[in-house]
Structure 1
Amino acid sequence: MENPRAKYGSAQQRKGRGRGVVLFPLPLQGHINPMLQLANILYSKGFSITIIHTHFNSPNSSNYPSFTFYSIPDGLSESEASTADVIELVTLLNVNCVTPFRDCLAKLLSVPLEEPIACIITDTVWHFTQAVADSFNLPRIVLRTSNVASFLGFACFPFLREMGYLPIQESQLEAAVPNLPPLKVKDIPLIDTRNQEDLYGLISSMVKEIKGSSGLIWNSVEELEQSELITVGQDFAIPVYPIGPFHSYFPASSSSLLTQDQSCLSWLNTQAPKSVLYVSFGSIATLSDTEFTEIAWGLASSNQPFLLVVRPGLVRGSEWLETLPNGFLEMMNGRGHIVKWAPQQEVLAHAATGGFWTHNGWNSTLESICEGVPMICWPCFGDQKVNARYVSHVWKIGVHLENRLERGAIDKAIRKVMVETEGEEMRDRIVHLKEKVHLSLRQGGSSHQALESLISYISSF
């Protein structure tokens, strides 16, 4: 097959004309959001944007009228698309999408464009895309949607296996992880899957193909992860661009796959400043009915106003609120408000919000830092465990529940963050961190400079 890339000539001939960028997000909520935010950032810098996406969890293109969207088949059966095994799903997608992605890219490259494609930007987890990009002589830059520290945890899997820390033994949970301070063994970013070898294989392929890419973009900030970025720079001989936090470049915009209930903002308007605990565990985590009951009673006994997000399917075996204790809402007498999904950025920015009980996905953690809201950490899997340890033990802007969902521990954690002196100290620290992050985006700031470098780099292709 003729290489469609060849018609664009040499890099020198293309320089200054290569203004189109093709982006390919992984179809999971925590990955779609930052990729589309990055697309917005690049569009604001003059690049034309094309989004290739799977049928599964396809983004709402009507929210992005300036972008061109192409949908590719992902080959998932109904049962495969509804699996709770994320690793199995992503492993399958990396096989199923090779030909459809290559065909879509070939089609794009075969048509003479006013703005030729400078490069593709794919999620790091789409490891197959490196070989496709190479076949078209097309630069591939990758976006890692988690933070740098958790990525280093994933990259260390071969070493951790060799040292006997993987698979994890119950007796080692509290032990420190060599080379990865401040992580404990229980913080290693594992993800539950039927076959752990699938996870190890996926991570190994991801790391290998990142090293073969043309550059690595982070939705993170040098001021948060300076030493970790230095380590990545030493281990990966490619340009690195920490240009986050992405969501701070524009007024709140959402590519949420779930419908947001705006009623919670009206309810927040009726609450005292910094009095409300916002509780949300993201788009994937699930709870047992026992855990949900402990959460409810912990919130009740804390005597703090709360906004609780109960996503349909959050409580296993339950449609929505069936497992709430009888008469719970009546007993709260307006002190609590429950929604199926919330406009998170607006909630965190609201004057009434004083704390965030979170699963510590990176997007949520970063949004909380950017609004100066201290956290209660209850990580479920993967990078969330690393993020939670950094929140509680490195930046010291939150309390770690250490996986205990027991009403007494919950009540104690809420009081600590919301009303006690320790919580005030956390608030002071996170407000200071918020200011440093915001400064990074301004002229001369670290993220601003990294973005300028990225724009120059893409324009040089």
Structure 2
Amino acid sequence: MAKDPIYDSHVAVLAFPFGTHAAPLLAVTRRLASAGPTTVFSFFNTAQSNSSLLSSVDDADLPANVRVLDVSDGVPDGYVFSGRPQETMELFLVAAPENFREAIAAAEKEVGRKVKCVLTDAFFWFAADIAAEMKACWVAFWTAGPNSLSAHLYTDLIRETIGVKEVNGRMEETLGFISGMEKMRVKDTPEGVVFGNLDSVFSNTLHQMGLALPRATAVFINSFEELDPTLTKNLKSEFKRYINIGPLALLSSSTSQTETLLVHDPHGCLAWIEKRSPASVAYISFGTVMTPPPGELVAIAQGLESSKVPFVWSLKEKNMVHLPNGFLERTREQGMVVPWAPQVELLKHEATGVFVTHCGWNSVLESVSGGVPMICRPFFGDQRLNGRAVEVVWEIGMTIINGVFTKDGFEKCLDRVLVQDDGKKMKGNAKKLKEQAHEAVSAKGSSFENFEGLLDAVVNISI
């Protein structure tokens, strides 16, 4: 692209190409680019992640001032994978600082403008140094919730207070020494904070991130201030600027009836749920990364069949072989098992009464935005903290009994959330949070106004 006089500033956007990280960063970049048309945004991501992102985004939806560029995945030529979990992520992270430096230099040449802001996934702690070398500002996007951000920010404090060697005897203790985390237990924290492999590449990345983020010009998050006021207040005191701009799902999802007809729904979930009674359906999905082990899939199926609760279950085709023989035929009238479902629209639907989830942050926030109580089955990372917040902080759901699905345990959870008085209380609390979430993104709401602050930090750059 030749030098273009209409662009008066240049922002480099560095995406993390794993899990569900890159998509929300691209969504935020699109919003910033639309609001700041004289700024050019160079969006760097691996070729594989870009191709999957752009297959779901119409080119026409990308503002003209967003350039999507490929960066190396860090896998050396001829590399033989050993099959270790996180291997591709580790190779990427080790090579990322140099690869991003080179890619930014090439983009500056092409655009003819120096980068004045480096906008990154918060995982890239080294962006603090890259930005300083370039005399640019660093703005970091934490894609999960404020509890896990706090856990990484205060990793050293948690290690000193709990003691890494003593941790096994202190797992039930709470983090009362961190403002806003008084109900969180040591065992809820992500691996790599105080237990698990503290020396892995990924644990080290998160630890370094916690140390580096106070250097950022701004840290922003997909949440809204009213959801966690104490955590928000505390994080505002720790960072130069701490900005809640979510829930992003409420900003991007369609609302008009005409647009709803255009929702991608290849398996007819929305037509099916239209015929169900209010707050009666269980929607089940564990995100794109994790699937419960086969024994738990069997327990979910048995619990659904036995409870007779109507359901939509999003389950990858390769995992359907684990379902009990004849389950799909016997429950054909009761529910549907599909390889993909339009989650945001299902969680907004009045017939959805409970969301059975792994408690990834995007899923939790989408459930909050729809006012739907949750049954939580966390697996790793921030999911335990999110599940704990659902159960004991916001009181809008519960964690699965004993942490794993059994037929009887799952039935009891469904009954408690959908039928018992306890469940009515969860539904009432969820409805209040839903109203606050919608208020936050409306004109004059906290997230609406905070987005102006983010735009100021990224586009109206004064170094």
Q: TM-score, normalised to structure 1's length?
A: 0.86
Match of 1:210 in 2: 213
Question: Whole-Å Cα distance in 2 between the matches of residues 301 and 84 of structure 1?
Answer: 39
Moved more, 67-76 or 360-369: 67-76
1:201 pairs, out of 196, 204, 207, with: 204
In 1, distance between residues paired with 2:47 and 2:232? 35
Mapping of residues 113-192 of structure 1, within 5 Å: 113=112, 117-164=115-162, 166=164, 171-179=169-177, 180-190=181-191
| Structure 2 CA distance for aligned equivalents of residues 272 and 120 of structure 1 | 49
Q: Which residue of 2 aligns with 1:60?
A: 53
Q: Following TM superposition, by how much is the alpha carbon of 1:79 offset from its aligned partner in structure 2, in angstroms?
A: 8.4
Write the distance in 2 (CA, Å) between the matches of 1:80 and 1:140.
35
> Alignment partner for residue 283 of structure 1, among 279, 282, 288?
288
1:46 to 2:39 alignment:
no
Deviation string 1:33-57 (CA, Å, 9 cap, x unpaired) is 2212212321331344331101343
Instruction: Specify the SS of the correspondent of 1:183.
Output: coil
Provide the aligned length of Structure 1 versus Structure 2.
Answer: 434
Q: Which has the higher contact order (CA 8 A, sep 6+)?
A: 1
Distance 1:225 1:83, change over 3 A: farther
Matches within 5 A, 1:238-317: 238-252=240-254, 261-312=266-317
Alpha carbons of structure 1 residues 262 and 321: separation in structure 2 relative to 1, 3 Å:
closer
Q: Which amino acid aligns with 1:27?
A: P
Deviation per CA, 1:86-120: give whole Å up to 9, x if none.
Answer: 4x54333221222221111111112455x874412
Asked if the contact 2:125–2:212 (Cα under 8 Å) also holds between the matched residues in 1, the reply is yes
- The letter for the 2-side match of 1:279 is I
1:413 aligns with 2:413: yes
- 1:126 partner amino acid: F
Looking at structure 2, the residues matched to 227 and 79 of structure 1 have their Cα atoms a distance apart, in angstroms, of 47
**Mapping for residues 25-40 of structure 1, pairs under 5 Å:** 25-40=15-30
* 1:161 and 1:167 in contact (8 A); partners too: no
Q: How far does the alpha carbon of each residue in 1:433-455 deviate from its partner, in whole angstroms, 9 at most, with x for none?
A: 11111111223221122111222
**Equivalent position SS for 2:321:** coil
Moved more, 23-32 or 383-392: 23-32
What's the RMSD between the two structures over aligned residues?
A: 2.8
CA contact (8 A) 2:372 2:430 kept: yes
2:360 and 2:342 mapped to 1: Cα distance? 16
In the aligned structure 2, how far is the partner of 1:33 from the partner of 1:262?
Answer: 23
- Which moved further from structure 2: 265-274 or 367-376? 265-274
Counterpart-to-counterpart distance in 1, 2:18 and 2:265: 17
CA pair 185-194 structure 1, distance change in 2 beyond 3 A: closer
> How many percent identity over aligned positions?
29
Which blocks of at least 5 consecutive residues in structure 1 are unaligned?
1-6, 8-13, 254-258, 313-318
Asked if structure 2 preserves the Cα contact closer than 8 Å seen for 1:217 and 1:240, the reply is yes
Note the residue ranges of structure 2 that are not aligned, 5 or more in a row. Answer: 256-263
Cα pair 2:139 2:457 within 8 Å, conserved: no
Report the CA distance shift for 1:195/1:176 in structure 2 as closer, same or farther (over 3 A): closer
* Paired residues of 2:284 and 2:314 also in contact (CA < 8 A): yes
Q: 1:75 to 1:122 in 2, by over 3 A?
A: same
Distance in 2 of aligned mates of 1:80 and 1:421: 56
Kindly indicate whether the alpha-carbon contact (under 8 Å) linking 2:153 and 2:211 is maintained by their aligned counterparts in 1.
Answer: no
Letter in 2 for 1:417: V
Please list the CA deviations of residues 227-249 of structure 1 after superposition, one character each: whole Å capped at 9, or x if unmatched. 1122112223x211111112222
SS in 2 for 1:30: coil
Deviation at 1:64, TM superposition (A): 4.9
TM-score (ref. length: structure 2): 0.86
Question: In structure 2, what is the Cα distance between the partners aligned to 1:46 and 1:152?
Answer: 31
